[in-house]
Chain A
Amino acid sequence: SNVTRLAAQQQLTQDDLLAFDSTGDLTILHVTDIHAQLKPIYFRPPSENIGVGMFEGVPPHLVGEAFLQHFGLTPGSALAHAHTMVDYVNLAKAYGRMGGLDRIATVVNAVRAERGDGNVLLLDGGDTWQGSYTSLQTKGQDMVDAMALLKPDAMVGHWEFTYGEDRVLELIDALQYPFLSANVFDTTWDEPVFDAAMMREVAGHKVAVIGQSMPYTPIANPRWMIPNWSFGIRPEVIAAQVEKARADGAEVVILLSHNGFDVDQKLARDVPDIDVILTGHTHDAIPRAIEIGKTLLLASGSHGKFVGRVDLDIRDGKVTAHQSKTIPIFADVIAPDPAMAAKIDEIRAPYEDELNRVIGQADDLLYRRGNFNGTWDDVICQGMIEERDAQLSFSPGFRWGATLLPGQDITIDDLHNQTSMTYPSVYRLEFSGLQIKEIMEDVCDNLFNKDPYFQQGGDMVRVGGMAYTCAPKETMGNRISDMTMTATGEPIDMDRSYVVAGWASVNENVEGPAIWDVMESYITRKQTVTASGSDIVKVVGI
């Protein structure tokens, strides 16, 4: 690994990262899915991201070497490390952590200085207020206060809604910028709840920004927390907003979207008059925008790893040229912005001892993102089985949650980065084998339905104590087979019932201890934590 350390130390500078051959006079900056990560983190990209139908083998369904080749990235380079898991541990040690809101502030300020304040739009793609210890303690207030320093121009949401309607409205009132959602209507009279769009004068051009919150929030997250709000993709509503924006003189129409990358790629075809779609939710990142028809789509990753930048050259009311890039936020290379750094320290100060309290050590690389499992989720699944005396366990396929390198201490801060949310109870229930299969098939179709409008939620549910085979290209109800108890090697009996522990159920009044208490007890007991079952899912037919 000396070679890689050497390569890394080619004196990667802040200027290298900020280098951008700008065009035109208007710049859009995009951050998304920060998940309340104020401090720099490690975040291993997935080693598996299966696409089906027309999405097979195209971004974001390219990982590792295939991703490097597709985008022409040099193996071992900073960009190769930011975007892929190739040689992850060595390169992570070489290049260091990524993200940190104070580093992001430096980049945003630098671009504003370069282009002129009135010529830059900063848009927040949502999943900002949830995902850390301090965001849970302050119910999102910490992120609202920190993001205020960045002065975004608008935001949309998804996990924000898990604080409940009242808290969301309370925080939105405190924002100095609009919370946009064209796709949220009240369940009584079917009328819009939020502003759908806004028009801004940027670099002397009329720019419309339409907002889209995560369309399946009441399905992926507890509906009882937002009983009066209905979501949906609603392409006809977006089309009407685009038309209205053009009628109002918009030279550029931007969709700030939390739809997910595949949904937005289909939407770009269904509603072809959008100039730029800034896409979030699926945590994908690409080095530069892809084009569908005239629409530019830029996916800017997650956890603060990137700031997306799109420059537009506009003549006679039309976009005539563009440049785009996701700027990788290498924390050891980019100087922290002093004001933001101070704000972060102020936010964390009251909780510093608890945040840094060490409860164990990671023996393996602990990460979450992956179609079928992640090593952090293996630990959570095993922890629930042991601590709750269950036979099997379910852990939802969330895509948020930072990575820990082998040998790294596990702190309360780290544990909450995997578990911080407002419905943390660990249930202990009995399910029949058939019910377990139905749940797995239901979630599996949310990932591998050929029509992205029928996809929703995160990666596949993680199952502890069980191995199985999955055929992603099959149809609903026919993808899961050979379900086997790993402890005994016996097949799962459809008629027999099994004790299952799981967390983050979307049902109301779920009884059980909070996931972080269960996992603190497990990790403290184990001291060094290894991830056992990453080979328990056999994928066939692709």
Chain B
Amino acid sequence: VAAIGLPVGLANATPEDTMAKIKEFAGDKEPQTGGKLTLNTPEIAENGNSVPVGVSVESAMEGDDMVEEIMILAEGNPNPDVVTFKFSELSGEAIAETRMRLAKTQDVVAVARMTNGDIHMAKAPVKVTIGGCGG
């Protein structure tokens, strides 16, 4: 794990850290998990140093059906924060993709906040494996 820029020793974040960050992001709104927010990650990471992660929210991106921010968290990393995307009317669509480091097999979480305060959440497991068994 040291090889991928994240230390072995540090106690990795427990889900509570992640829940606390979601709470802070969501305010008092209960996150909905109805699928309005899509989180796209590979089932098995090809390279723990560079795991693609994409988020998208179905929304008109205007008025109160607009996405303000999407935050991505990696529950199993020493520090669960990954990135927060901020959108505008000119975004046209709330879609973003980047690449992140995962210390180990874990759940990746995305949380979206709409202009009307609604919160949407999605979670996806990503397996980080030793690999090398051909087939």
Contacts and interface: CB of A to CB of B under 8 A. Distances in A.
Interface of A: 158-159, 187, 190, 214, 216, 218-223, 230-233, 236, 260, 281-282, 396-399, 421, 438-439, 442-443, 445-446, 449, 451, 453-454, 456-458, 461, 476, 504-507
Contacts of B127: 445, 449, 454
Contacts of A398: 134-135
Contacts, number: 85
7 contacts: A220-B133, A222-B132, A230-B46, A233-B42, A451-B43, A458-B133, A476-B105
A147 B87 CA distance: 52
B44 A454 contact: yes
Contacts of B129: 219, 442, 445-446, 456
Given A190-B97, A219-B129, A457 B46 contact: no
4 nearest A-B residue pairs (beta carbon): A457-B133, A458-B135, A506-B132, A219-B131
B52 A230 contact: yes
B47 interface: yes
A439 B135 contact: no
B50 interface: yes
B130 interface: yes
A477 to B, nearest CB: 9
A18 to B, nearest CB: 31
A443 B97 CA distance: 30
Given A187-B50, A476-B105, A453 B135 contact: no
A237 to B, nearest CB: 11
A454 B105 CA distance: 11
B18 interface: no
B46 A396 contact: no
The DSSP consensus for interface residues of chain A is: loop
B40 A220 contact: no
Given A458-B134, A504-B134, A219 B44 contact: yes
B57 to A, nearest CB: 16
Contacts of B52: 190, 230
Given A230-B52, A231-B46, A220 B97 contact: no
A399 B135 contact: yes
A443 B133 contact: yes
A396 B44 contact: no
Interface string B77-113: 0000000000000000000010000000100000000
Contacts of B42: 232-233
A453 B43 contact: yes
Contact of B131 (A159, A220, A233, A421): A220
Given A397-B135, A446-B129, 6 more contacts: A158-B135, A187-B50, A214-B135, A260-B135, A399-B135, A457-B131
A457 B134 contact: yes
Interface in B45-81: 46-47, 50, 52
A220 B132 CA distance: 4
Contacts of B133: 220, 396-397, 443, 446, 456-458, 461
B134 A216 contact: no
A388 to B, nearest CB: 18
